[in-house]
Amino acid sequence: MKKIIMSFAILLLVLCGVLFFRANTFFSDNQYKVQTPLEPVLIEKQAVLKRFSNAIKIPTISYDDRTQFDADAFITFQQYLKDEFPLVHQHATLDVINQYSLLYHLKGSDSSLKPALFMGHMDVVPVDESTAGQWEQAPFSGKVVDGTIWGRGTIDDKISVIALMESMEMLIAKGIQPKRGIYFAFGHDEETGGKDGALKIAEHLAKQKIEFEFVLDEGGVVTQDMLPGVSSPVAIIGIAEKGFVNLRLTVNSAGGHSSQPPAHTAAGILAQAIVKVEAAPFATDMRFIQDTFKHIGFATDLATRLPMANLWLFSPIVESMMLDIPSSAASIRTSTAVTMLKGSSKSNILPTEAEAVVNFRILPGDTVDSVTQHIIKAIDDPRVKIEAFMANEASPVSSTESYGYQLIEQTIRRLDQDLLVAPYLVQGGTDASKFYGLSDNVYRFMMVKLTPNTMKRFHGVNEQISVEDYLRAIQFYYAMVRQAAQG
């Protein structure tokens, strides 16, 4: 018995030694090593703040109900850009696509260089009238108070549009002649799917057979206190995004009075189907989390680093812990959310039709069809009709070795050496997904620092951004545009 205990103790010591050795050696510091920091460009602070503030005041709202679309607001915004950025409009060509979306092109002198495309969107989500009174500043006031800029679009996504225009205006003012062509694409309906804006821009460019060296859109940010075990801020660059599909589940049956119900009403059959859907989650896939930690694992605390460096042993535990947190669960599998239900119009009437809508956010590797087939198999009930609508496939995955990714990474680090940089999977949808036919290198990032608290303001009450972050965004876009333009 003593020999068995001794052998077990030795094996345990060896195992612990292997685990700690891997925890301390598995992740290496492969962050870009800054040799020459970028000198900040001189910005006229009050002037740029005024331009951004006034842009926020124009209510370019996207509605699901197209009859509510306010064309005048978008025309006003177009004219505002022309008035405030005269050099851009003198030196770059402007194509107005599908009446409201904008495509700018600053021509490069070297035709052997593929152009670069920078993106943003002009539209914003509506403000829920029931929450209007909860705003500390009016949602379209654009007020600058105590170092904060308030209003819908300050984060999503007029910041990209106006900061990019500031960068090009400064580039032209400095007399810099681009070798590489620079394009700006600003859609007008990103918040409702981008089919009338970004998609039409992409189709327009495809007809001209234009290919881009890289595409940069919104999506990634500088995170603070959002990644486990990491105390330093991390700039996360989106290299892919999840797709989505809505499945409508419908059950039809004879109606009647609730005093004489059948064994199972349409609503009851539908409820059973919903239970089956939620009981059949999709398989997990850790590759995106592993890719992120490959870049920042060296900087995490031991409690995080040890299991992540030894997934061969701890993978089930790590997956279980991640699945307990909705935000992390969404990064390792296709998510399932029952979002809409409809049954009878009265409590004493049996429904002739019961309907539910289930929203799925599709991890790259799954497809709209595979998700649909998974749910058909899970429900396994011919009484339930399953119909897919409003679908978009998950995007391809862009390389972290490309010129575009490395330029983004180096620019971030050269502007702020304290930032760690890592790739990640964007869980929402962006207009960038429309441009994979024009480039293999599609990325998502804007240099704005967000915390769990400020993330709640996306599409919510009191959307705001600090003056410091807005100025940082201009510095980043200017550095990116200038370096890309110079080849």
Catalytic positions, written as ranges: 123, 190
Q: What sign has the CA pseudo-torsion 352, 356, 357, 358?
A: negative
Residue 474 in contact with residue 48, Cβ under 8 Å? yes
Q: Specify burial of residue 437 (Cβ count, 10 A radius: 0-12, 13-18, 19+).
A: exposed
∠ CA 401-419-294 to the nearest 5 degrees?
45
* 3-state per-residue secondary structure call for 327-340: HHHCCCCCEEEEEE
Tokens linked to 188: 């007008």
Residue 424 in contact with residue 286, Cβ under 8 Å? no
**Closest C-alpha to 371, from 264, 281, 436, 463:** 281
Contacts of 355 (CB under 8 A, 6+ apart): 248, 249, 250, 251, 270, 340, 341, 342, 343
Residue 119 in contact with residue 22, Cβ under 8 Å? no
* β pairing state of 234-241 and 420-426: parallel
CB atoms within 10 A of CB 233: 19
Residue 171 in contact with residue 473, Cβ under 8 Å? no
Tokens linked to 382: 């011919």
H/E segment holding residue 350: strand 349-350
